């Protein structure tokens, strides 16, 4: 398929790679000097690094708060929801909110290309039901228009599902058609497809799915890919070894093209390799292990793009601050002796209330008559990830 050319040209609000600092330093978080207003808490230092590590932060209380929350944990990139991820419609952004957000980006020194908003979980552009797909498209388009209003240049979303009512090829064409229509209705935002864990009818578990969607997108400059490490691992892409990581990158470049890579989600996995299940774990504490992330943070091809944590934070900012610091520390570090890095993350996670397996309560024995029902329930549990992606069936 045609590959988008790599370029050193900048987009509005960006800086060129030649201007990026070569030596690590620490950025200071600017705080409000307004009387009576305390400065925001700080959980981590924000180093200047070519690898832009951050997290999906809360925008509660106002979308501009996402910037403060990102800076407070030492993030050099961040993700957010531009509206409620569980509702089809939300109140319009006010001019005051838009101005505050743009001012916050300048104040805290965030480049638009290092912000990777996540789309609504309700959206399924691959649904063959025209009415349901239109509802998803309207939500999708609204997200893109919000991004443009805020000066955000990227928008990450899950491709969708055939819901078992269409072939993969048919669903892929529907997704591409919606992207094309949305591009015509907007001006600049790059629509970023996310790879998926490969469950059931969900599109995106195979790099070829992403390549085929991009192949049908008319404006190749406005489409890209976000690679999620947990999704890759669960879909059968093994990044635990250096050889495995190099093969993944080579396969992605051959099928899709590295020029389309616009971001990553850095998540360890609770489930085993090729499980087809999407269960995020804290960095180094899952089945991928710390070495998988060491490969990424020492691969120069993954510099200058948002590298976003979506790991459990237990609503404790210090968890992400520790993980961000740990990931930044992997750059240039030896692959030996990384247990101390994992130990530091485990300590913070346990203090936050995670990392401990709670014993399951004993259940009353099931009656023989419920055996078939129990089996069906187990099947439902295996499909729960897919069901989360198919809320358009409501």
- Determine whether 387 is an active site residue: no
Catalytic residue, from 216, 310, 382, 387: name it: 310
380 is catalytic: no
- φ, ψ at 64 (rounded to 5°): -65, -20
Q: What is the CA radius of gyration of the chain?
A: 21
**To 10 degrees, the CA torsion angle through 94, 98, 101, 104?**
-120
Choosing from 113, 133, 146, 265, the catalytic residue is 265
* CA 125/CA 144 separation, integer angstroms: 14
Which residue in the list 46, 118, 209, 295 is annotated as catalytic? 118
Check if 260 is active-site: no
Per the annotation, the verdict on 209 as an active-site residue is no
Catalytic residue among 46, 231, 287, 295: 231
Select which of 64, 143, 194, 318 is catalytic. 194
Taking each helix axis from N to C terminus, what angle separates 65-72 and 317-330, rounded to the nearest 10 degrees? 60
Residue 118 catalytic?
yes
State the catalytic residue, choosing from 46, 56, 146, 158: 158
Catalytic choice (222, 262, 277, 280): 280
Check if 170 is active-site.
Answer: no
Nearest to 22 by CA among 2, 1, 42, 51: 51
Catalytic: which of 86, 243, 339, 384? 86
Catalytic residue among 64, 268, 278, 386: 278
The Cα 128–Cα 337 span in angstroms is: 51
Contact 390, 161 (CB under 8 A): yes
212 is known as an active-site residue = no
Q: Is 219 a catalytic residue?
A: no
278 is catalytic: yes
Show Cβ contacts of residue 126 under 8 Å, excluding neighbours closer than 6 positions: 133, 159, 160, 161, 162, 163, 166, 171, 172, 174, 175, 203
Active-site position among 4, 45, 107, 121: 121
Phi–psi pair at 109, nearest 5 degrees: 75, 35
Pairing state between β 268-269 and 280-281? antiparallel
- Residue 344 burial by Cβ neighbours in a 10 Å radius (0-12, 13-18, 19+): middle
Catalytic residues: 86, 118, 121, 158, 194, 228, 231, 265, 278, 280, 310
């Amino acid at each position: 398929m045609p590959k988008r050319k790599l370029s050193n040209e900048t987009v509005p609000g960006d800086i060129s790679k030649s201007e990026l600092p070569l030596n690590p330093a620490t950025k200071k978080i600017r705080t409000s000097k307004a009387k009576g207003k305390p400065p925001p808490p700080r959980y981590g230092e924000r180093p200047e690094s070519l690898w832009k590590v951050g997290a999906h932060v809360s925008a509660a209380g106002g979308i501009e708060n996402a910037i403060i929350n990102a800076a407070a944990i030492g993030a050099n990139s961040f993700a957010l929801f531009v509206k409620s991820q569980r509702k089809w419609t939300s109140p319009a952004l006010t001019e005051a909110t838009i101005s505050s957000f743009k001012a916050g980006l300048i104040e805290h020194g965030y480049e638009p290309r290092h912000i990777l908003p996540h789309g609504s979980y309700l959206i399924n552009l691959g649904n063959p039901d025209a009415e349901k797909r239109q509802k998803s498209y309207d939500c999708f388009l609204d997200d893109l228009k919000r991004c443009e209003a805020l000066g955000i240049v990227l928008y990450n979303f899950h491709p969708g599902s055939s819901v078992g009512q269409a072939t993969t090829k048919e669903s892929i064409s529907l997704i591409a058609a919606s992207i094309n229509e949305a591009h015509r209705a907007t001006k600049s935002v790059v629509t970023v497809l996310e790879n998926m864990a490969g469950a059931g009818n969900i599109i995106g578990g195979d790099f070829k799915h992403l390549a085929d969607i991009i192949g049908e997108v008319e404006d190749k400059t406005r489409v890209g890919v976000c690679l999620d490490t947990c999704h890759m691992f669960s879909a059968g892409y093994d990044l635990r070894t250096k050889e495995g990581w190099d093969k993944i990158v080579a396969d992605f470049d051959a099928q899709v093209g590295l020029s389309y890579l616009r971001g990553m989600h850095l998540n360890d996995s609770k489930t085993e390799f090729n499980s087809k299940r999407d269960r995020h774990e804290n960095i180094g504490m899952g089945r991928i292990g710390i070495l998988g992330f060491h490969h990424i943070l020492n691969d120069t091809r993954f510099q200058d793009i948002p590298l976003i944590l979506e790991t459990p934070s237990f609503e404790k900012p210090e968890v992400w601050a520790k993980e961000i610091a740990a990931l930044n520390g992997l750059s240039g570090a030896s692959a030996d002796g990384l247990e101390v890095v994992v130990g530091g993350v485990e300590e913070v996670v346990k203090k936050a209330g995670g990392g401990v397996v709670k014993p399951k309560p004993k259940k009353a024995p099931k009656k023989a008559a419920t055996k078939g029902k129990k089996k069906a329930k187990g099947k439902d549990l295996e499909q729960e990830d897919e069901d989360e992606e198919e809320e358009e069936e409501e």
